[in-house]
């Protein structure tokens, strides 16, 4: 590790953040955090268990009433200061993220900016929470509608966007006046701990936020969900775990936001700007090494241009430089772990076994890290396992199609519905197909949809609720109706 890397690791608190204080785990246990590009242990952090979880819950529950009374402007100012601090420390925080997660430094710094933007956006939303007043249709009563914080919230986040998946929940919760507990992914606790440090420095009152890394996710979170004092669960992760958490949330009828898996179709019509479509496919596929819920998982290209598209995409994918994310000029980092890399290889082998052709890549990279070569497959049959499964790696399967009706059916033929991408220059087709796609988001002639000012979320098994945009804060607000009579 370089001096800067060692310094960045040394600066992060490795303890649990409970109610404004850094604490060892109740059990005294710690666990190791690994660099996925070398498999070396970077450091050890405190390992929370249910005792720590319940301590954090007691703090969140105790602090909720006073936090709800803090002026919206003050809550907004805390977020705004946190935005400034995140941007001030973008380089170190990006380095820290690359160390624990593997993505190239430029992308990690990009995520810090994206993550910070949720704080800026919700600092502005904090002072725009509005209720309403109306006269009943028969004129005999008045309706006063007020918005109130939903209450103590539990957040569970994945490793692929270690900072942004946290700020996307913490931002609106602070703006709305909710207290919260964040359980980050086991593989990437350092970004979340650094974030706790920043919010603390920005003046977040004690007890509003706790951050609990753990090696026993279910053992920590299930008692919290079954306790009755948590009122809201916001989860980002796999559909399988999401369904389990929905069952647990049913016991106390919790408000839930579920940001789950995806299986995005990327559709290119023959009237599209081909170069723009290839650019878009590179972004939609390769952002975050392909480890994104929004990753293009099935690329459908109209038959007249399918071959040319696949060749251009292969040239671009083949030119990418793979390596440790902190090394100069690296475009593609390692996958998160061995299991992830084995899964990608199994999916590629299955597709090839069913007749797909490998245009570039198709095998693991060299070295100790979990590298996989950027890969383009063509003529991937519909029956291939990768068309039903999130690949979560740098593999782009391309399949030709003939008609608009056919591709809409193909695109929607999945249990998921997070995002779809569509490239066409025909205006009528653009609207028609956007309407027909079963997805919470559509990228029309663009390969990235994520934007803190827009509502992010899916339909079907991709989840429910929206993060970001004007509706993002609603996930943390209840509507209370006061019926006023006797006028």
Active site residues per annotation: 259, 293
CA–CA separation, 400 vs 383, rounded Å? 14
CA–CA separation, 171 vs 94, rounded Å? 19
366: Cβ–Cβ under 8 A, 6 or more apart, which residues?
none
CA–CA separation, 440 vs 388, rounded Å? 18
Long-range contacts of residues 453-458, Cβ cutoff 8 Å, at least 24 apart: 453/121, 456/168, 456/259, 457/257, 457/259, 457/418, 458/259, 458/260, 458/262, 458/416, 458/417, 458/418, 458/419
Q: Are 329 and 356 in contact (CB under 8 A)?
A: no
Specify the residue, 264 or 398, whose C-beta has the smaller distance to ligand NAP.
Answer: 264
For residues 293-329, one letter each, b for 16 or more C-beta atoms within 10 angstroms of the residue's C-beta and e for the rest, the string is bbbbbbbbbbeebbeebbebbbebbeebebbbbbeee
Contact between 260 and ligand NAP by CB under 6 A: the answer reads yes
Contact between 32 and ligand NAP by CB under 6 A: the answer reads no
The SS3 assignment for 439 reads coil
Q: Which of residues 410-469 bind ligand NAP (CB under 6 A)?
A: 418, 458, 463
Among 36, 53, 207, 262, binds ligand NAP (CB under 6 A): 262
Tokens of 159: 């490793």
Specify the residue, 320 or 464, whose C-beta has the smaller distance to ligand NAP.
Answer: 464
Q: Residues 210-229: x/- map of binding to ligand NAP (CB under 6 A)?
A: -------xx--x--------
Q: Are 144 and 191 in contact (CB under 8 A)?
A: no
Closest contact distance (angstroms) between CB of 228 and ligand NAP is: 18
For residues 214-240, one letter each, b for 16 or more C-beta atoms within 10 angstroms of the residue's C-beta and e for the rest, the string is bbbbeebbbbbbebeebbbbbbbbebe
The SS3 assignment for 393 reads coil
Q: Are 97 and 112 in contact (CB under 8 A)?
A: yes
Specify the residue, 9 or 156, whose C-beta has the smaller distance to ligand NAP.
Answer: 156
Contact between 241 and ligand NAP by CB under 6 A: the answer reads yes
- Residue 291 — φ and ψ, nearest 5°? -95, 65
- The residue written with tokens 């918005």 in the block is 147
Closest contact distance (angstroms) between CB of 304 and ligand NAP is: 32
Query: Which has the closest alpha carbon to 171: 394, 437, 472, 386?
Result: 472
Among 238, 389, 434, 445, binds ligand NAP (CB under 6 A): 238
Contact between 249 and ligand NAP by CB under 6 A: the answer reads no
Q: Which of residues 124-183 bind ligand NAP (CB under 6 A)?
A: 156-161, 165, 183
Going from the C-alpha of 326 to that of each of 106, 108, 192, 330, 402, the distances in angstroms are 9, 10, 20, 8, 43
Residues, the chain: 487
Distance in Å from the first CA to the final CA of the chain:
73
Per CB under 6 A, which region of 125-133, 256-264, 371-379, 393-401 contacts ligand NAP?
Answer: 256-264
Q: How far is CA 151 from the centre of its chain?
A: 22
Tokens of 15: 């303890």
CA–CA separation, 13 vs 24, rounded Å? 11
Across-strand partners of 444? 422
CA–CA separation, 310 vs 176, rounded Å? 47
Per CB under 6 A, which region of 127-135, 234-242, 277-285, 320-328 contacts ligand NAP?
Answer: 234-242
Contact between 261 and ligand NAP by CB under 6 A: the answer reads yes
Among 117, 390, 474, 475, binds ligand NAP (CB under 6 A): 390
Residues in contact with ligand NAP by the rule CB under 6 A? 156-161, 165, 183, 185-187, 217-218, 221, 236-238, 241, 244-245, 259-262, 293, 390, 418, 458, 463
């Amino acid at each position: 590790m370089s001096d800067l890397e060692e310094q960045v690791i040394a600066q992060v608190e490795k303890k649990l953040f409970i109610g404004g204080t850094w604490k060892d785990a109740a059990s005294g246990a710690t666990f190791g955090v690994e660099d996925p590009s070398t498999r070396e242990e970077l450091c050890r952090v405190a390992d929370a268990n249910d005792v720590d979880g319940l301590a954090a819950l007691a703090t969140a529950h105790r602090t909720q009433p006073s936090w709800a009374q803090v002026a919206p402007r003050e809550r907004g100012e805390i977020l705004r200061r946190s935005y400034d601090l995140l941007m001030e420390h973008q380089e170190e925080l990006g380095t820290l993220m690359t160390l624990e997660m593997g993505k190239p430094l430029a992308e990690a710094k990009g995520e810090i900016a994206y993550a910070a933007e949720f704080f800026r956006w919700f600092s502005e939303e904090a002072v725009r929470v509005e209720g309403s007043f109306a006269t009943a249709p028969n004129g005999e009563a008045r309706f006063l509608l007020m918005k109130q914080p939903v209450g103590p919230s539990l957040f569970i986040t994945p490793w692929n966007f270690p900072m942004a998946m946290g700020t996307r929940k913490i931002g609106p919760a602070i703006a709305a006046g909710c207290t919260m507990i964040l359980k980050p992914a086991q593989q990437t606790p350092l970004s979340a701990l650094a974030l706790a440090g920043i919010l603390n420095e920005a003046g977040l009152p004690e007890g509003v936020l706790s951050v609990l890394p753990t090696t026993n996710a279910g053992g920590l979170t299930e008692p919290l969900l079954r306790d009755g004092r948590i009122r809201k669960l916001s989860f980002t992760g796999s559909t399988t775990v999401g369904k389990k958490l929905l069952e647990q949330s049913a016991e106390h009828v919790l408000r839930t936001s579920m940001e789950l898996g995806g299986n995005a179709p990327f559709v290119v019509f023959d009237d599209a700007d081909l170069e723009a479509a290839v650019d878009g496919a590179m972004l939609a596929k390769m952002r975050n090494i392909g480890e994104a819920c929004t990753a293009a998982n099935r690329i459908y290209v109209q038959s007249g241009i399918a071959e040319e598209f696949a060749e251009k995409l292969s040239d671009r994918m083949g030119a990418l430089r793979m390596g440790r994310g902190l090394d100069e000029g690296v475009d593609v980092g390692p996958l998160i772990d061995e299991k992830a890399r084995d899964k990608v290889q199994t999916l590629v082998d299955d597709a090839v076994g069913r007749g797909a052709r490998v245009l570039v890549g198709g095998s693991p990279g060299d070295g100790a890290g979990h590298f996989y070569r950027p890969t383009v497959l063509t003529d991937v049959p519909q029956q291939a396992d990768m068309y039903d499964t999130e690949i979560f790696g740098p593999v782009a399967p391309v399949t030709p199609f003939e008609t608009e009706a056919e591709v809409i059916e193909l695109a929607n033929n999945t249990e998921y519905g997070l995002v779809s991408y569509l490239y066409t220059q025909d205006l009528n087709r653009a609207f028609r197909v956007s309407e027909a796609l079963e997805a919470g988001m559509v990228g029309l002639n663009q390969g990235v949809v994520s934007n803190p000012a827009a509502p992010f979320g899916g339909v079907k098994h991709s989840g429910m609720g929206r993060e970001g945009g004007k509706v993002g804060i609603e996930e943390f607000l209840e509507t209370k109706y006061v019926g006023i009579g006797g006028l």
